[in-house]
Structure 1
Amino acid sequence: MDFYKNYNDLGKKTITTTRSEFTETIGEDGTRDIIKRVLLGGNVRDTTEFITQRRLLNSYASMLELFVNTFSGQDTQQQNDLKKYADSVIKELSTSKKDAKIFDLWLLGLTKKGFDNIARGNLSEYRKSFEFSTKNAVADFNEDFGQITGNLELNGKSVPLSWEVLSLMLLAIGSQTLTLRGSSKSMNGKMFEKLVLGSILTMIGFEFCSTLPKKIDPENKIFWLSNMDENERETDATIVYNNKAVSIDIGFIGKGNPEITLDKVTRFEAYKRIGGIKHDMSTIIIVDTVADHSDLFNKAKRVKGKVLQMKHEDWTIQFANVLNNIFDLQLELSDLHTDDLEKYFESHLKNIQISNFIN
């Protein structure tokens, strides 16, 4: 059996996706709309979740078609032969690479991470456990729920339902879900962190540098994204002006991830040499939500940092005021009222080349 070859193109496209493919899917206007929503206090996942769900449904439908095509025409004994199935997948897996390897692992109920941590690279031992546990589960299902009856029919092909076939398909779908949700969450989060920061900083008058400058003119208001300094400490953006610099950490982090948020306040220093010039450093941490009893604000205060929550409709005004105080500026955004923000963002976002912030 050549499982990956028979997996349709719609399903193959969902295995991995790039940031450019994501923005092509929703278009530049759609991307700008999501950025605007976040700048107005919205949750980026309100929109990206539906895109992820569609990606999952496409992969599920493709997996269903694969199982119908694979088992159609086989007799019941062949369809329920778990050892033959596992052996066939492992044989294909021994030579598969990249997306094909990820896909083949799904058929064994594994993700790439699971392959390393659970199977430990030993597929021979894993196959025995896979076959044994699935057989036991099927026996329990028949006893607890009774035999399952009916047919899966698609495009003129039919497969009699059995707990064996259904269990194999559900295991594959479960691994699909873990992989696709994990990759979507990571990619969407990192991409929109850059898009939001790049857009807001451009709007308020800072010039984007695609790489960290070797020399800096103190009179220029500039910023760059995702820099790793000599101490291997990553910051999502750095703003520089008049011998002062601000390190910004942003994350779509909510109440469910307090430990990640608290870690951010321990990363920053008071002074740093950038572009051959010593800069006074400040810290701004931007998160989606902070739990009511979080100690984040106190920890940030001890390192002279500021914490902003994107759940607030006026968080960008607060952001502009913080920069005013640090750089001794008077940014237009800081003088706006909340009711003025949507019009302000719409007029400025249309002039921003958002592709500059995607890499």
Structure 2
Amino acid sequence: MKAKKNVHQETPISDIFPQSGKDLLVGGGKQFVERIGVEAVKQAVFSVMMGENLRTQTEPISRMRIAQVSGAIIAMIAKGYLTIDNFQRELSRLAIKELASAKKNDNEKVWPAQWLIGITGKSFQNVLRGNREALIEYIADFEKAIKDSAEHCKQQYGDYKMDLHFTMNGIDNKVALDWEGITRLTTAIGSQTLTLRGSDKSIYGKLFERLILGSILTLLGFKRVDKNSDKKERKEIFWLSDSSANRESDATVVITPGHVARFDIGFIGPGNSEISKDKLSRFDRDIEVSGQNAHSVTFIVVDRLPATGKTKAAADKIGAEIIQMSMAYWPKELADKLAKRFGFKHEIQQIRPSELKNYIKTQIDKIKIQDFLNEITLEEIEESQEKEAEQQKLELDFEDE
């Protein structure tokens, strides 16, 4: 068996977490596509265009990621017991040290350390309020809970042990876990599951917002340009994530010079109607594009609206259009609404309902879908989500005053 390192060398937690596991915690949009495959992404986009729920498409991806990272945690625990003296006793201290030295959004270091002490990013913010002194107090309670739970399991279920057999550097090894070790392992896997579930829900939503908007606008014949280009082509172009003096829109489409459609997309269900109404208040009707004034119409693309009709009334009041992705063949409805507002014409408007499915599938297959994610990273998404959450909290605090 390989000799253990001296504990005074302070092997970081991140050094024993497998690199292949780290790769599942970081990366950008391009890596996301490579990880699950271009065809799988295209199929998910096509299914959403057919009115299916995005969560149905991403759930298998989430389950696969959780299973693979769980394997990485088992490998980390096994390597820790094998190479670090008194690993079980030192675990929490090593985790705290990792958290103290790691950057806030360095997921490949922060997340495994958090999981080992049974917390997630959310619980660190909400329960510990980001206070590192509170973390020390938490660790004392955590260690007691682990030991008490291990003793309870031993008394209730019997004196079980778990042996992890594995090969490292060509040498067969075995690590024996008692109830305390088993409890620490399952706690880490449980915390990891909560983290990745929360992360996937928001990250997949953000990534697919770009994928779906980029795909539908390309399908309708608009040419994508860089949002910072001089936009020499003045009609039938679009760019993603345009940010102006007012709040950000997810896509801007120049139909003809002086006529602009601004898109805001979100996988928002009927339980979040207030968020839908908030989207309606984001944009002015008159904006500046390439130094010229332009009249704009806002298109809000959401999953499904509530039955109350309040959001629809708010949209009508400001002259906005709402598209529900839960409706079958909503891409044709979008084309029809663009035609009503701008005189826009596209062949999809003439296609019979019975032929739409094959038409949309054929068009999606032609699109180089991964290009819509080239400039975006998961870290940027998380940072933007944190800013949005802080802004929403400020707005709520202001309303309460």
> Which interval holds the TM-score relative to the shorter structure?
0.7 to 0.9
Superposition pairs of residues 252-291 of structure 1, within 5 angstroms: 252-291=267-306
Which residue number corresponds to residue 234 of structure 1? Answer: 248
Superposition pairs of residues 17-96 of structure 1, within 5 angstroms: 17-71=27-81, 81=89, 84-96=90-102
- Provide the C-alpha distance between the structure 1 equivalents of 2:62 and 2:27, rounded to a whole number of angstroms: 11
Which residue number corresponds to residue 169 of structure 1? Answer: 185
Q: SS of the residue aligned with 2:307?
A: coil
Which residue number corresponds to residue 131 of structure 2? Answer: 120
Stretch deviating more after TM superposition (285-294 or 85-94) = 85-94
- Provide the C-alpha distance between the structure 2 equivalents of 1:40 and 1:74, rounded to a whole number of angstroms: 53
Q: SS of the residue aligned with 1:284?
A: strand
- Provide the C-alpha distance between the structure 1 equivalents of 2:277 and 2:174, rounded to a whole number of angstroms: 55
Give deviations 1:205-228, integer Å, cap 9, x for gaps. 21211115556665x211111111
- Provide the C-alpha distance between the structure 1 equivalents of 2:213 and 2:123, rounded to a whole number of angstroms: 34
Which residue number corresponds to residue 101 of structure 1? Answer: 110
Q: SS of the residue aligned with 1:257?
A: helix
Q: SS of the residue aligned with 2:321?
A: strand
**Unaligned 5+ residue runs, structure 1?**
none
- Provide the C-alpha distance between the structure 2 equivalents of 1:217 and 1:88, rounded to a whole number of angstroms: 57
Q: TM-score, normalised by structure 2?
A: 0.78
Shift of the 67–256 alpha-carbon distance from structure 1 to 2, 3 Å rule, reads: farther
Which residue number corresponds to residue 13 of structure 1? Answer: 23
Q: Alpha-carbon deviation of 1:57?
A: 0.4
The count of corresponding residues between Structure 1 and Structure 2 is 351
- Provide the C-alpha distance between the structure 2 equivalents of 1:141 and 1:257, rounded to a whole number of angstroms: 42
- Provide the C-alpha distance between the structure 2 equivalents of 1:10 and 1:180, rounded to a whole number of angstroms: 16
Q: SS of the residue aligned with 1:49?
A: helix
Q: Alpha-carbon deviation of 1:93?
A: 4.0
Which residue number corresponds to residue 247 of structure 1? Answer: 262
- Provide the C-alpha distance between the structure 2 equivalents of 1:167 and 1:290, rounded to a whole number of angstroms: 44
Shift of the 68–327 alpha-carbon distance from structure 1 to 2, 3 Å rule, reads: same
Q: Alpha-carbon deviation of 1:139?
A: 5.3
Q: Alpha-carbon deviation of 1:72?
A: 6.3
Superposition pairs of residues 195-344 of structure 1, within 5 angstroms: 195-212=211-228, 214=230, 220-231=235-246, 233-242=247-256, 243-293=258-308, 295-344=310-359
- Provide the C-alpha distance between the structure 2 equivalents of 1:259 and 1:246, rounded to a whole number of angstroms: 23
Give deviations 1:9-49, integer Å, cap 9, x for gaps. 33222222422112112332332222222222222322221
Q: Alpha-carbon deviation of 1:136?
A: 4.6
Q: Is 1:178 equivalent to 2:194 in the alignment?
A: yes
**Unaligned 5+ residue runs, structure 2?**
1-6, 167-172, 376-401
Stretch deviating more after TM superposition (233-242 or 35-44) = 35-44
Q: Alpha-carbon deviation of 1:141?
A: 5.1
Shift of the 116–28 alpha-carbon distance from structure 1 to 2, 3 Å rule, reads: same
Q: Alpha-carbon deviation of 1:344?
A: 1.5
Contact 2:253 2:262 in 1 (8 A): yes
Give deviations 1:288-341, integer Å, cap 9, x for gaps. 122333522122111111111111112111100000011112221122222212
Contact 1:272 1:280 in 2 (8 A): yes
- Provide the C-alpha distance between the structure 2 equivalents of 1:19 and 1:213, rounded to a whole number of angstroms: 21
- Provide the C-alpha distance between the structure 1 equivalents of 2:161 and 2:74, rounded to a whole number of angstroms: 15
Shift of the 149–314 alpha-carbon distance from structure 1 to 2, 3 Å rule, reads: same
Q: Alpha-carbon deviation of 1:134?
A: 3.4
- Provide the C-alpha distance between the structure 2 equivalents of 1:149 and 1:50, rounded to a whole number of angstroms: 33
Q: SS of the residue aligned with 2:308?
A: coil
Shift of the 241–80 alpha-carbon distance from structure 1 to 2, 3 Å rule, reads: closer
Q: Alpha-carbon deviation of 1:236?
A: 0.8
Contact 2:80 2:87 in 1 (8 A): no
- Provide the C-alpha distance between the structure 1 equivalents of 2:274 and 2:184, rounded to a whole number of angstroms: 37
Give deviations 1:47-100, integer Å, cap 9, x for gaps. 22111111100111221233344346999xx6874xx43223324444445212
Q: SS of the residue aligned with 2:304?
A: coil
Shift of the 140–352 alpha-carbon distance from structure 1 to 2, 3 Å rule, reads: same
Letter of the 2:196 counterpart: L
Q: TM-score, normalised by structure 1?
A: 0.87
Which residue number corresponds to residue 142 of structure 2? Answer: 130
Contact 2:225 2:231 in 1 (8 A): no
Which residue number corresponds to residue 154 of structure 1? Answer: 165
Contact 2:162 2:182 in 1 (8 A): no
